[in-house]
Structure 1
Amino acid sequence: MKAATVLALLAATPAAAQSWTADRPVEVVVGVSPGGSMDFTARLVRDLLVQEDLIPEASIVNNKPGGGHAVALAYTSQHEGNPNYIQIVNTPLIANSILGRSPITYEEFTPIAMLFEENMVFAVRADSDIADGEDLVQRMRDAPDSVSFSVSSGLGTVNHAAVMQMAGEAGVDLTKLKTVAFNSSSEGVTATLGGHVDVVVTTARSLLPFRESGDLRFLAVAAPERLPDAMSDVPTWRELGVDAVVAAWRGVVAPSGLTEEQAAFWSNAVRQVTESESWKETLAEEFMVDIYRDGQETAQFFADETESYSAMIEALGVTH
């Protein structure tokens, strides 16, 4: 389904049009292994949909890791016209086709909503000889391939983009960066703790437990300003002289071919979840920034993100 068709469908889908309901178990698909931020989001959405009596208790989260979310996107797209599937998506929905990793584009799904965004944090093992963010930048300038980075869910993800932007703004040769892709951020954290990777790049909520246990040290956050509370002592890259601000967005899509009533149900259901007190409390606790958009606004967001991501990839000289 093309973007213009999706926009027309969503514009013609008022709440009053809703008559279909999810009376069969729903699969909430996510393109990562259990653990980490994306999996957490999928389980949170599933649990709150159940809590709000919007989907049956028997509904599940279906983890489909592989190919930088390509496996999950292919799986969901194969269920055209079936409203009992939704997927939690992020940058690979846009990046995979741009990088030539997958022929599937965002236009092949029904956009449901944008949820929130999280800024990327750079961390090392507690006993790492990388002293701080400035030391990391200097090492990369001297020898870009002397430092390895964990980027979850595959190259081309926002984790990878955070490394590229930081390095590019620091004047580092991007062709020599050493990045290692894992199926989830939890796998990347494990590799970093085991000394197999030097720096893990992911969200604050995925890393804070390991900082609190004394296993990880935070170097910097790719945010416009310092994050609050437990993150308030972590400098931004901008404070360290590197203009890198990168946030991971999370959204929801469904297969193409849904009826107006089915699209209306999901639009209203996800909106109801994001208006719940449980959702708002979780976002505040986990350093997540609310960027809720409805289906029509999400379709436009995907179009804008495709344009900006293509420009970033070209500017950074990254190819597939």
Structure 2
Amino acid sequence: MAKLNYHHLQYFYAIATHGSIAKAAIVMHITPQTLSAQLSLLEAQLGYNLFDRKGKRLVLNDMGHITFSYAQEIFSLGDELVHSLKNHSTDFSFRFSIGVTDVIPKVFSFNLLKTVYAMDNSIKLVCKETSLDVLLGELAVNKLDAVLSDTSLPTGSSLKAYSHLVGKCGMSFFAHKDLAQVLAINFPQSLNNQPFFTAGEGSNQHLSVLSWFNELNISPKIIGEFDDSVLTKYFGQAGYGVFCAPTMIENHVIAQFDVEIIGRTTEITEHYYLISPERKVKHPAVQHLLTQGKKLFNKAIA
């Protein structure tokens, strides 16, 4: 068999994607007659028809689905090549683009991401912070090299990616020292009817903390819900109520906000994942962050 003509494969891919020769021809800026002829050449070379006609539409048959799957992989690999080359400039510096979900503690993100500069001081770190859904969309189209998240890749996701567990830890509860000293005596039952700040509604932390309270049959008085965890800490620092944060950053919280620990629990667990795409060529910073992240957790819980 002669070598595959990738132009023919690209024409086939356009027809399969848009559902008709007419629509694909507009996108490809060629005539429908030319596109039809190119498809016929590809089918002749492969020795199979790739579509069945359903009225005016072309529908992939079994061989067409197989060919389409390979075409997707080929063009995805081409995009990956371009993405990889764009990350390198003439002075050999390279770019690492990472998404961070907006619930990840900033101090943890900083302590982890700063380690990439130890790899190469000419690296350019690009960090985007937003929701997991948005970040996974950008990961899918090669705009990001990895995503740091408090949840793994959702079950049933069509994205070809891996969820690497960086580490996990329990939860610590804090308040202004005057309140903390009183509530520490009978923790966690002491939290019953006490003013409490939670993470934003819908977050993993919000759900897991309230579920834990329910299991213990205690009912703190929820006086605030904040997406911004730093704002929560400021309110706690000012003496308005109790808040919680991952145990691995408790030393930072105490030093930065002048609060004291009421108590800790490992019955609420925070997980941190590095989600990386299933690419043939992985960015070297991904494995580096995995290694450094595990070291951070081991040091924090030692």
The match for 1:39 is: 106
For residues 153-168 of structure 1, what are the structure 2 equivalents within 5 Å? Answer: 154-168=200-214
The match for 1:231 is: none
Higher relative contact order (CA 8 A, sep 6+): 1
Q: Deviations over 1:109-128 (max 9, x none)?
A: 62242101121111111111
Structure 2 CA distance for partners of 1:214 and 1:30, relative to 1, 3 Å: closer
Name the TM-score, length of structure 1 as normaliser.
Answer: 0.54
Q: Secondary structure at the match of 1:84?
A: coil
Shift of 1:193: 0.8
Structure 2 CA distance for partners of 1:118 and 1:214, relative to 1, 3 Å: same
Whether the aligned pair in 2 keeps the contact of 1:48 and 1:273 (CA below 8 Å) is yes
Q: Distance in 2 between matches of 1:27 and 1:220?
A: 37
Structure 2 CA distance for partners of 1:221 and 1:259, relative to 1, 3 Å: closer
The match for 1:207 is: 250
- 1:131 matched to 2:183? The reply is yes
Whether the aligned pair in 2 keeps the contact of 1:161 and 1:246 (CA below 8 Å) is no
The match for 1:282 is: 296
Whether the aligned pair in 2 keeps the contact of 1:25 and 1:84 (CA below 8 Å) is no
Q: Distance in 1 between matches of 2:138 and 2:294?
A: 33
Whether the aligned pair in 2 keeps the contact of 1:123 and 1:219 (CA below 8 Å) is yes
Shift of 1:39: 2.6
The match for 1:234 is: none
Q: Distance in 1 between matches of 2:115 and 2:160?
A: 23
The match for 1:185 is: 229
Q: Paired residue for 2:127, among 61, 70, 87? A: 61
Q: Distance in 2 between matches of 1:221 and 1:25?
A: 39
Whether the aligned pair in 2 keeps the contact of 1:91 and 1:157 (CA below 8 Å) is no
Instruction: Give the alignment's Cα RMSD to 1 decimal.
Output: 3.9
What runs of 5+ residues in structure 2 fail to find an aligned partner?
1-68, 74-82, 89-93
Shift of 1:29: 1.6
Whether the aligned pair in 2 keeps the contact of 1:89 and 1:252 (CA below 8 Å) is yes
Q: Higher strand share goes to which structure?
A: 2
Q: Distance in 2 between matches of 1:210 and 1:260?
A: 38
Shift of 1:149: 2.6
Aligned pairs, how many? 217
Q: Distance in 1 between matches of 2:157 and 2:197?
A: 26
- 1:120 matched to 2:171? The reply is yes
Structure 2 CA distance for partners of 1:180 and 1:206, relative to 1, 3 Å: farther
Q: Paired residue for 1:150, among 197, 214, 218? A: 197
Structure 2 CA distance for partners of 1:135 and 1:259, relative to 1, 3 Å: closer
Q: Distance in 2 between matches of 1:168 and 1:260?
A: 43
Whether the aligned pair in 1 keeps the contact of 2:187 and 2:262 (CA below 8 Å) is no
Whether the aligned pair in 2 keeps the contact of 1:158 and 1:247 (CA below 8 Å) is no
Q: Deviations over 1:40-84 (max 9, x none)?
A: 34334433334224x9621222233xxxxx3x5314414533153
The match for 1:298 is: none
Q: Distance in 2 between matches of 1:203 and 1:131?
A: 19
The match for 1:295 is: none
Q: Paired residue for 2:264, among 221, 227, 231? A: 221
Whether the aligned pair in 2 keeps the contact of 1:126 and 1:214 (CA below 8 Å) is no
Structure 2 CA distance for partners of 1:287 and 1:281, relative to 1, 3 Å: same
Q: Distance in 2 between matches of 1:125 and 1:56?
A: 43
What runs of 5+ residues in structure 1 fail to find an aligned partner?
10-18, 65-69, 98-104, 141-145, 224-244, 289-320
Q: Give 2:245's aligned amino acid.
A: T
Shift of 1:178: 1.7
What is the aligned-residue identity percentage? 10
Select the structure of larger CA radius of gyration: 2
Q: Paired residue for 1:261, among 277, 280, 285? A: 280
Name the TM-score, length of structure 2 as normaliser.
Answer: 0.57
